[in-house]
Structures are given as C-alpha cells and as structure tokens.
Structure 1
Amino acid sequence: MTDPALLATTFVGCDFETLNPAGRRPEPIEVAAIAGKLTADGIWQEDGRFERLIRPPDDVPFTSFDTGQTGITAAMIQQAASADATLAALEELLAHPPYVLVAHNAPYEAGLIHDREPSCPRLARLPLLDTVRLARTAYPDLPRHRLDDVLRHLDMPPPAGRHRAMPDVAATCDIFARIVTDGARAGRWSTLADLHRVAGIQPKAVQDDAAASAPQQDSLF
C-alpha cells in the first residue's frame, strides 16, 4: 500500500437510485458521491460529499413500488433538478485530479453516467473500479458478493436508510477500504494498476474516443 499513484488518487464512491420504466433506460432519481483517499495503512480519509435528488422526465411513471424500494416519494423529487443538471453540478467538483470512480456493480453506475455524457464529459471519462469484482478476488470463498453479503462477511452492519444513495455509497466506501486492505495483505494486489487489472472498467466514452481517433481504412470503392 505504498504505491504513489494509489496514495495520490482521490476515489469517488458513487451510487444512484433509479426508476426502471419498461422498454427504456433506467432513470436516476437520486445520486450520492463521497470523495476520499486511502492511506498507506488502509484508512479511508473522506474529503467531501455530494447528495441530490433528481427529477425524472415527465413521461416516466413514479409508482408506490418505487417508493417502497427507496423511501423516495414523487413529492420529494417534484422540485429537483434534472439528471443532466445534477451530474453537471457533480462534475464541477472535480477540480483536483486524479480521480477514480468506485461503485458496487460499477457497470450500472457507469451506464447511467454515460447516458448524460454531454452534460458531464469529464465525469463520464473517469476510470472506474467495481467493488463486486474486488470482493470476488479478495474473498473467493464467499458465495455471493452483493453489498449486503460483503457487509455481513466483514461484520459491518447495514447502514440506516439502506437503498438510499448516501447510505449505500457510504457503505461502498467502507467496504472498498477494507477490501483493498485485505487484498493487499493477502498479496492479491499492491498498486493502483493492480486494482484496475482486477476490477477496472473503461468508460464507454473513452472507448468511443479511441474508436473515433483510430485511423480509418480507405474505401475500396
């Protein structure tokens, strides 16, 4: 845990709560992020928090089932900003790179951010680490690696308000620090590059950039 790149990086835990309308992409109704760094002895040092409710498009239904899942009501999000405006506001906080996003089941969060890429181009290009993949490597004997499973395995209580964005991302940051520390002690990784090798996800926006800049083959006709 002495890798300079690892110790210099600000990790940004991120979690969304969403609606899942039939036949279309999920729509976020809440986002929370916690920024922090890891010390050489594996301590998480928090540097700031961001938490916003999000108003979904008017044509996306909000049901009692959705409220039952999260506790968020239609009245709570009625005056909230749009997802585009909210993620643009989160991006404005990214003033001191390098940053790496961290999420439990990170491909889902990555997809939600990519959907708003024009409003948050820098955020949409940050590399990601998936704590599910890290947990699978650190705790290979654990049969399942959902957030509650990992918390239970580590004897960490589930957060009050579970299934709201801020409690869930706080739990994600807690298990991230513990997983990284446990994996380092077990010899599974020692550098930031190792973490990306095990659990890194390249943002789709970066893939799109690479494809756009690749030399184009001349047409035969």
Structure 2
Amino acid sequence: MGGLTRDPEFGDTVWIVLDFEATTPAGHPPQPIEVAALALRYAAGRWREAGRSTSLIRPPAFAPVTAATTALNGLTPQQLAAAPTPAQALGALDRRFTSGTRYLLVAHHASTEANLLYHQREHCPTLARINLIDTIPLAKHLAPGLDNYRLDTLLTHFAIPRPADRHRAAADVDVTARVFMRLIDAADRDDALEDLAGLVKIAGRTAKTNRPVQQHLFDL
C-alpha cells in the first residue's frame, strides 16, 4: 500500500465509524433515536474490526417520532418507548473509550454527527471531544466529477450493495465503513495524502466541543 497507511500515526489510530438516526423537533436541535458505532484498526495491510455498538434511544417528549421518520427508517414510537434514555445509551457508549488511545470518528456528512454529539455532550463527554473525518470532502477529492456525493451515490460508484435496512444506524455504519475503506485504498495512490496529517487537512472536522468559544468584545 501507499504512504498514508504506512504512516505510524495512521496505524495507531482507532477509527470509529458513527451514525445517528434522529428526529428534528420544531424549535429544538435534532434528537437521537438510534446510534451505531463500528471501531476499525489498520495493521499489516488490512482492516480489522475492533468492536461495535448499537442502541435505540428514547427521545424526549418534545421530540416525538413522526410518520415521516417512520417512513424513512422504520422506527416507530412503540419501538422507542422502552429504549434507553440518551444518558443511558450514550453514556454506555462513552465508557467504551479509553484514555491514551488516538481516536478519529468517521461519518458521512460529519456535521450531522458533530451537531448531535455537541448537543448530547453532557451524556458522552469523551465521545463529543473526538474529532471527525468526513467522507464527503474525502470522496470529492478522490472521486471527482460525480453528480453528487450522497451516500447512495457512493455506494453505486464503488459497487457496494445498498442494504435493505438503509437508514438504520447499524446498516449505515457498515456501508459507510465500506466506502471509507475504498476511499483509503484510493488515498494510498494520492500524493496529497501521504500521511494522517494530509488526510485531516482534506477531510478533517473539529468536534464542536473542541472549538474555541468566541468571547464578547466587552464585558458590560
């Protein structure tokens, strides 16, 4: 393989492919109703799975599951009525991250995941501080000229079958991971992506929790 995957920092990174399903209540930020995460490591020229997690999440009363949400992903109010709360589901996921390990989150249209994590940061403080790799700018760099860069378009481009349960978090994590691995294969042949720093420059997104808070110019 090429320079990117030979970079020691790349090999030392645990890549967490992350996906949320959510409701979007009027007057409030999106509220998670399902989360899935798949941990990957790259060593000896191949990817291996290092762990996975998935959970339904019970939304707050102000963010009920609508008919439109059910039509998209099949999740119903009845399914979520007994699901863990955000504090329970995201807290359990957060406790799986260990200090001293380099993590990067991977998501398609990563601003969506970044926004959800920011608003749920009290429940998952460690996860909310992990920076992200967005597969959209990475795909735009490595596969220019596509009509668009939606996930389904990239699945077609890379001849990855569309899962029957597309728009469920676990299924979307699996296919996003496959797209990401195909992109890394292409990145190994790209001179602009010779190390992890180059990858972050092109596709990195700073976690919203890590962004500096703008201070008021004057204290009144």
Taking structure 1 as the reference length, the TM-score comes to: 0.91
Q: Supply the RMSD in Å over aligned alpha carbons.
A: 2.0
Alignment deviations for residues 99-144 of structure 1 (CA, whole Å, 9 cap, x no partner): 1100000011011001011221111111100011110111112121
Q: CA deviation at 1:38?
A: 2.2
Alignment deviations for residues 37-66 of structure 1 (CA, whole Å, 9 cap, x no partner): 12353x321111100000000122322221
Distance change (3 Å), C-alpha of 1:126 and 1:174: same
Range with greater deviation from structure 2 (125-134 or 180-189): 180-189
User: Out of 44, 53, 56, which is 1:53 matched to?
Assistant: 56
Rounded to whole Å, the distance in 1 between the matches of 2:27 and 2:123 is 24
3-state SS, counterpart of residue 70 of structure 2: helix
* Alignment check: 8 A CA contact 2:18 2:106 kept: yes
Q: In the alignment, what sits opposite 1:84?
A: 87
Q: Does the alignment pair 1:34 with 2:38? A: yes
Once superposed, which parts of structure 1, at least 4 consecutive aligned residues long, lie more than 3 Å away?
216-219
Q: In the alignment, what sits opposite 2:140?
A: 136
* Alignment check: 8 A CA contact 1:12 1:101 kept: yes
| Count of residue pairs brought into register by the alignment | 215
> Structure 1: any 5+ residue segments left out of the alignment?
none
- Report sequence identity in percent: 38
User: Out of 2, 5, 10, which is 2:6 matched to?
Assistant: 2
Rounded to whole Å, the distance in 1 between the matches of 2:176 and 2:59 is 25
Q: In the alignment, what sits opposite 1:25?
A: 29
User: Out of 164, 171, 174, which is 1:170 matched to?
Assistant: 174
Q: In the alignment, what sits opposite 1:121?
A: 125
Rounded to whole Å, the distance in 1 between the matches of 2:124 and 2:211 is 16
Q: In the alignment, what sits opposite 1:187?
A: 191
3-state SS, counterpart of residue 117 of structure 1: coil
